[in-house]
Structure 1
Amino acid sequence: MRRALIVAHRWSSLILGLVLVVECTTGVVLLYHAEIFRAQHSAFYQHTDTAPVISTEQAVELVRASDPAFDIGWVGTDGGIIAVGDKAYASAYSIDPGTGRINERVDLVEGPLGWLVNLHDCAFGCLSSPGAVPALHETVPLLDLTWSALILGVLGLLLVVLAVTGAIIWWPSLKRWKHGFRVRRRKGRFARDFDLHNVIGIISVPFLLMWGVTGAAIEMPFVEKAWLATTGGDTELAPAQDIYTPRPSAEGSRQISVTEATDSALRAKPGRLAYLMLPTPATPYYVASVAGDYAPYGERAFYSGDVSVYVNAADATDTKVVDKSHDRPLANTFYDKVFEPAHFGWLVNDWWRIVWAILGLSPLALMVTGLSTWFFKRRTRRNANAAKAKQRQPAIDRDA
């Protein structure tokens, strides 16, 4: 069994390890997506440190008046400015609330960051982002998945396999427990890299499992169900955020304003309004994303809320709060409020995310140390075979 695990661990990492390393390493960069985006667009985030002279509702009207063709879909706050975005979440205007002036309009998915997001999140299957490959957005025959989702899901499962098999292979006996964490620096390159591979691997196993399970589950829902079934969760729990039917209103009823919808949402769920989605003919209600005291998405740019509040566009008293920490099994709450947000590092500040970044580079370190020991063993075996061949050659010559 141990030999079989070693073979599975070695060859799966050799065949797909490089792709997995690229996926994990780009994820390290995207841990600081919000900070990088804000640094790149400093003019977008210009604001005065004075009392606001404009509300979010006035900001929406200001953008609508200055650019009538802009298809407004949401309004929110980030980094001290008011952001008014389009329905495709592809671009946004920023307004300085202290002066009431529009700063600029930026594309949210373009540039090098957009390319990295398309690589890491979509495997180049997001058609609206740079580097998109349309073929990867096609559906896989017999599967309800796109090719990009299949690629990312398989990589997530591969990471789980590598983490589990690596931990089992590493596991020492109780008497030799301390040997599992040693690094023999004076015993040659092979011993040093072999020990480094083991130590780095076992320390990073919890994060690798988290990234593997959640990464695969984002693309393959059955993985999330399998995890919930294993941890005692409810695998049949309906997505509550998809179930909302506003009360019927009288024909010709006035649509409530952005301010009224915001006030209603924050009465239903006190906290910080991250953004507010505006009503459409197909969805006659506002959707407020609110960050409470514990905000697992709090470090995300623009979309940092974790509780959804639905507000009837014609009746501010008709609301529905969807909080995944209520009326659910603990395993479901843990997955939605801790496990999945931990994938992106949004539940900790930029300093704590350094831990995520270091462990996110562990697949790269494991690839380097793993290849080093593999090449060393191959060269040693090749030299030994060559030496045996030379020893046999004189005997063959004498027989001739």
Structure 2
Amino acid sequence: MATSRRRRVSLKVRRALVLSHRWVGLVCGLLVVVVSTSGALLVYQPELIRALHPEMFHATVADRPVGFTQAMDAVQSRYPEIQLANASLKNGVYLLSASTDTHDTFFVDAGTGRLNGRLDLGKGVLGFLVNLHDCGFTCEDYSGYLPFLAQPCPLAQVSAFSGLSWGAALLAVAALILLLLVIPAPFIWWKAIRKLRNALRVRWRAGRFARDFDLHAFIGIVAMVPLLVWGLTGLQFEMLGLTALWYSVTGGQVADGTFTAGSGDQNVTVEHAMAAAKNQFPGSEVTWIGMPDNENSFYTIDLLDRDGPDLRAYSHNYHGNRSVGVDAHDAGHVQILRGKPATPSNAIADEWASSAAHFGLAVNGYWRAI
């Protein structure tokens, strides 16, 4: 009698475990599929935006293109109520964003100085996909924003997970699941990998099970390294402690990217700030300017240093590899916010991990298809 009761309890426990495994696996699998699919589409975000809005990216070839100041004047002469937050120069077009009143991006032809138009890049299907894949629906300026997902999760109290929201936690879980699927794979398929020729063979006529088994192994072996890279870099975005761990293991150095305000009383113009920044990296090109405001009394000047890689060469709105802070009240007070990587470890984590390894923006669309 007792044995029969234990058997019934054992069957109930087993059934509960099977059901929980099935549904947890289904939910987690769907999460990975949704995040991965949206990311696969966003790989071509630059090309899609240009194809959908070609008039915004119209660029006129000119011997003497207009500068950042003229581009800002072109926007503010048309919309005097707009307070600009930043401006970027990419492929002959200035993209300017406002700090208040609107989420639109303003496009100015650098060849003519004329305003091509304005567009809210955070709206529509692409904006929704960006909010899903990059933010976990926590970016307020993009379609699909869900305020409750922007709230800090309990792990946010731990320093390694500082500021982790519920949306970011979901993205981190998706990255962890991907890693848990990829990391054991070499051990499971070790015999097949040792005999690579057999591992890459698909038995098309040996029955459905054998064919599907071989296809699973073949696709897994081919995709193992990219999936591992995407999982690790995706996890790095959400868990800042992972970068600190990488530095401690590989000898990297934590950079201080904060600007210490001075006590000057000048009114530094955009041109003077650009010149001060370029002096730090001779021969470089200014590609992005962050304007000072009530919270930050300095310009942030991003530059493309030809001595370093252009890892966002195929982004639609940005490229740069160095960043300099210039005091808005003292052009002599300059601080390098992002310089040349101090170690190979820093180069991997700070430069290659995001724009090149995760987004693929260092190469054109044909290479990203691979």
Same fold (TM over 0.5): yes
Alignment correspondent of 1:282:
295
Aligned match of 1:233 in 251, 271, 277?
251
- C-alpha contact 1:171 1:180 (8 A) present in aligned 2: no
CA RMSD of aligned residues (A): 2.4
One-letter amino acid of the structure 2 residue matched with residue 338 of structure 1:
W
Offset at 1:350? Answer: 2.2
> What are the equivalent positions in structure 2 for 1:212-291 lying under 5 Å apart?
212-230=231-249, 232-234=250-252, 237-242=253-258, 244-249=259-264, 251=265, 253=266, 255-269=267-281, 270-291=283-304
> What are the equivalent positions in structure 2 for 1:1-400 lying under 5 Å apart?
14-52=26-64, 54-87=66-99, 90-141=103-154, 143-144=156-157, 145-172=164-191, 176-230=195-249, 232-234=250-252, 237-242=253-258, 244-249=259-264, 251=265, 253=266, 255-269=267-281, 270-293=283-306, 294-323=309-338, 325-327=340-342, 329-341=343-355, 342-355=357-370
Offset at 1:262? Answer: 1.7
Measured in 2, the distance between the counterparts of 1:173 and 1:94 equals 53
Q: 1:324 to 1:100 in 2, by over 3 A?
A: closer
One-letter amino acid of the structure 2 residue matched with residue 200 of structure 1:
I
- Secondary structure (helix, strand or coil) at the match of 1:172 reads helix
Offset at 1:51? Answer: 3.0
Measured in 1, the distance between the counterparts of 2:48 and 2:65 equals 29
Q: Which 10-residue stretch deviates more, 219-228 or 339-348?
A: 219-228
- C-alpha contact 1:52 1:98 (8 A) present in aligned 2: yes
After superposition, give the CA deviation of every residue in 1:316-352 in whole Å (9 maximum; x if it has no partner). 333222345433x322221212223211111222222
Measured in 2, the distance between the counterparts of 1:301 and 1:53 equals 19
After superposition, give the CA deviation of every residue in 1:59-91 in whole Å (9 maximum; x if it has no partner). 212322321221201122123222221137932
Offset at 1:177? Answer: 4.7
Q: 1:226 to 1:158 in 2, by over 3 A?
A: farther
Q: Which 10-residue stretch deviates more, 340-349 or 317-326?
A: 317-326
- C-alpha contact 1:13 1:162 (8 A) present in aligned 2: no
- C-alpha contact 2:273 2:331 (8 A) present in aligned 1: yes
Measured in 1, the distance between the counterparts of 2:63 and 2:319 equals 23
Count residues in correspondence.
Answer: 339
Bigger Rg over Cα: 1
The gaps in structure 1 that reach 5 residues or longer are 1-6, 356-400
For normalisation by structure 1, the TM-score amounts to: 0.78
Measured in 2, the distance between the counterparts of 1:336 and 1:166 equals 28
Identity across matched positions, percent: 32
One-letter amino acid of the structure 1 residue matched with residue 80 of structure 2:
P
Q: 1:141 to 1:321 in 2, by over 3 A?
A: closer
Q: 1:174 to 1:138 in 2, by over 3 A?
A: closer
- C-alpha contact 1:57 1:258 (8 A) present in aligned 2: yes
- C-alpha contact 1:260 1:316 (8 A) present in aligned 2: yes
Q: 1:31 to 1:175 in 2, by over 3 A?
A: closer
Q: 1:187 to 1:283 in 2, by over 3 A?
A: same
One-letter amino acid of the structure 2 residue matched with residue 207 of structure 1:
P
- C-alpha contact 1:213 1:223 (8 A) present in aligned 2: no
After superposition, give the CA deviation of every residue in 1:82-126 in whole Å (9 maximum; x if it has no partner). 222113793221222333221211112111110110111122222
- Secondary structure (helix, strand or coil) at the match of 1:352 reads helix
Higher relative contact order (CA 8 A, sep 6+): 1
Q: Which 10-residue stretch deviates more, 284-293 or 146-155?
A: 284-293
Measured in 2, the distance between the counterparts of 1:282 and 1:189 equals 63
- C-alpha contact 1:57 1:257 (8 A) present in aligned 2: no
Q: 1:21 to 1:76 in 2, by over 3 A?
A: same
